[in-house]
Amino acid sequence: MEEKSDLFSVFEQKMRAAGMKDAPIRAFHHSYASLRAGDSGLIPENTIETIGELPELDKIKGTSQSRPELLSRTVMIKLNGGLGTSMGLERAKSLLPVKDGLTFLDFIVRQVLFLRKRHGIPLRFVLMNSFSTGGDTREFLKGYPELGRPEDLELMQSQVPKVDARNLQPVSWPPNPQLEWCPPGHGDIYPSLVSSGLLDEWLGEGCQYLFVSNSDNLGASLDLDVLSYFAQSQQPFMMEVAARTPSDSKGGHLARRGKQLLLRESAQCPKADLPQFQNISKHRFFNTNNLWLRLESLRDLLRKNDGFVPVPLNKNEKTVDPREPNSPAVLQLETAMGAAIQCFENSGALLVPRTRFAPVKTTSDLLALRSDAYEVKEDWRVVMARMPDGKPPTITLDSNYYKLVDQLDEMLRAGVPSLRDCQELTVKGPVRLGSANVFHGKVNLVNETGEALSLPPGEYRDCTRRL
């Protein structure tokens, strides 16, 4: 790694003054050096190969014995740094009630406690919080004293300076100095494990495996079959991937360069190659962000690279105050933890069912999850109910009236409709729904009056209903 330049020293001083430790500072310097070097990060189509067949979880289940004893050597981390601002939330997204009055975090905690009780093994569990989510999350966890001290369940994400787009120096914003900082992306998990001392602590306790996933993806439970397969595989890093569908065509995909797996995101694709990038028959798999790592391999890679994993830079162009479009332009330098697949020799991927990828990114996702299209199992997993075509309903809600959670709650004051037998639901205009509404097949609801109207109780099957 190059020597720290005078240009970077002001960033280092600012980060040290804020309490940042060596490993996160070195990781940010790597990103900043990439920015200064003009590294585009582009991955042309002619430099990669497509992925053929992959091992499949559905075929693995039942072919080898699950090994619950591996839980004693496993750590489970949930990424919990997001606020869900795109849905109008102002606190940890994981504290949003998602089903039967329970939050994401309720379900996650109850899954962990179930595994501990069922197998008599104290599975290690940690939340990777941000400075925006830590306080509320720790307070919430006080309601589960059997889980342990909230302070012992936290890995704190770093924060890094926003870069002034004009001069590539730390931006200054006196009206709100906190807006001079941003999260560095979930690739920060690697240097944060070093700087927190947790990686060495877990290795010292005999831990071998790490499972990381997003807190807003209730499909990402700790699956003993996947853990057992990963342990047997001897791979240092394994990514759960799912089959791309037309709705995934603009998102990133898995590829190969020689013997090495890699991820290619849309920002890394030259414009001329976009048709190939979006060809889901050619590039068939996407990252679910459910990752499995062998802790010794991670330690060795971190030691080799001075405490961080050299993943590609993601450069996001913003304004220093997101609510003020005329505020100074900034660059937010971020990294993604899944991109580390290219940094481990002999890394692997496992094809999993779509049920292990059910994130809530929009209020449409939230409506589906709250409905009877999903059910809660004994082990507190939230799984898709028996749908007619084996897929969850495709829901499209009018963003003018349903984009924010408060708006959705207002339209559902009479309860959540039945979507168990629904394939598609499209709502245009302000339509109030309720528990007395039952949808079958493909239903289109239209209200062009501009005034919120209630859909009359009853069953609706393969129809368009105008109010």
Task: Kindly state the tokens that stand for 176.
Answer: 């709100």
Question: What is the per-residue pLDDT for 41?
Answer: 76
d(CA 41, CA 268): 6
End residue of a domain, out of 308, 331, 356? 356
Catalytic residue among 142, 250, 304, 361: 361
Answer yes or no: do 135 and 282 share one domain.
Answer: yes
End residue of a domain, out of 356, 373, 389? 356
Answer yes or no: do 230 and 264 share one domain.
Answer: yes
CA proximity to 136, closest of 179, 93, 189, 102: 93
pLDDT tens for each residue of the chain, 467 residues long = 444 457 899 999 999 999 999 999 999 999 999 999 988 778 899 999 999 899 999 888 866 678 899 999 999 999 998 878 778 887 889 999 999 999 999 999 999 999 999 999 999 999 999 888 889 999 999 999 999 999 999 999 999 999 999 999 999 999 999 999 998 988 999 999 999 999 999 999 999 999 999 999 988 999 999 999 999 999 999 999 999 888 788 888 999 998 899 999 888 888 999 999 999 999 999 999 999 999 999 999 999 998 889 988 888 889 999 888 899 999 999 998 999 999 999 999 999 998 888 888 899 999 999 999 999 999 999 888 876 666 788 899 999 999 999 999 999 999 999 999 999 999 999 999 999 999 999 999 999 999 999 999 999 999 999 99
- Whether 103 is in a domain gets the answer yes
Answer yes or no: do 326 and 401 share one domain.
Answer: no
Contacts of 277 (CB under 8 A, 6+ apart): 45, 253, 264, 266, 269, 283
Answer yes or no: do 264 and 397 share one domain.
Answer: no
The structural domain count of the chain equals 2
Answer yes or no: do 208 and 311 share one domain.
Answer: yes
- Whether 289 is in a domain gets the answer yes
CATH of the domain at 452: 2.160.10.10
Answer yes or no: do 23 and 163 share one domain.
Answer: yes
Question: What is the per-residue pLDDT for 26?
Answer: 93
Query: What is the span of the domain harbouring residue 13?
Result: 6-356
Question: What is the per-residue pLDDT for 389?
Answer: 67
- Whether 102 is in a domain gets the answer yes
Largest CA distance in the chain: 70
DSSP string, 189-246: HHHHHHHHSHHHHHHHTT--EEEEEETTBTT----HHHHHHHHHHT-SEEEEEEE--G
What pTM, to 2 d.p., does this model score? 0.91
- Whether 428 is in a domain gets the answer yes
Answer yes or no: do 320 and 376 share one domain.
Answer: no
Answer yes or no: do 34 and 180 share one domain.
Answer: yes
CA proximity to 81, closest of 36, 35, 39, 134: 134
CATH of the domain at 111: 3.90.550.10
Residue 21 CA: distances (Å) to CA of 47, 79, 101, 166, 307: 37, 20, 39, 27, 11
Answer yes or no: do 269 and 406 share one domain.
Answer: no
Answer yes or no: do 343 and 369 share one domain.
Answer: no
d(CA 319, CA 330): 5
- Whether 1 is in a domain gets the answer no
CA proximity to 11, closest of 214, 167, 237, 120: 167
Answer yes or no: do 208 and 323 share one domain.
Answer: yes
Answer yes or no: do 59 and 134 share one domain.
Answer: yes
CB 308 within 8 A of CB 23: yes
CB 79 within 8 A of CB 104: no
Task: Dump strand ranges (E) for 63-222.
Answer: 74-80, 97-99, 102-103, 124-129, 154-156, 160-161, 163-164, 181-182, 209-214
- 361 flagged as catalytic: yes
End residue of a domain, out of 306, 323, 356? 356
